[in-house]
Structures are given as structure tokens and as C-alpha cells.
Amino acid sequence: MTTDGIIDQIGGEKRRAFGKKRFMALIASIQNLPVAEQKEPVRDALIEYQGAERRRDDVSAIGFKI
């Protein structure tokens, strides 16, 4: 679960939103990692994408295993 802060974050070369597709691809790429190890790849991807852009909104994500 996540707030819209990740999806709406502006960045990248074209200064566009991170977006749902990019976020879903990121989640799919880390789904086999233990939940405890998923935090850093998500944080790192957001920081890299954000670059020098200001954070526009709160960024919250909660992961859990069923």
C-alpha cells in the first residue's frame, strides 16, 4: 500500500511523474526479496528518479506478506 506521493513525484529527464507503471514494475522487480529487504530498492529508485526535484508530497509505503 502506498500514498500517491511516490506515484506523483516529478523527476527523470523529462520531469514527469514517477507513475503507476514505473511503480508497479519496481514492485514486480523486488517481489521475490524478503519484505525486510524491499525498503531500500524502493527508496533508492525514488531518490534516483527525483534527482534535484523537490519532494512534492508525503511518501509512505507499507509492505506486508500474506
Sequence length of the chain is 66
Report pLDDT digits (tens) over 1-58: 888 889 999 999 899 999 999 999 999 999 999 999 999 999 999 999 999 898 878 8
Q: Where are the beta strands (DSSP E) in the chain?
A: 10-11, 16-17
pTM metric for this prediction? 0.84
Residues 6+ positions from 38 with CB-CB distance below 8 Å: 30, 63
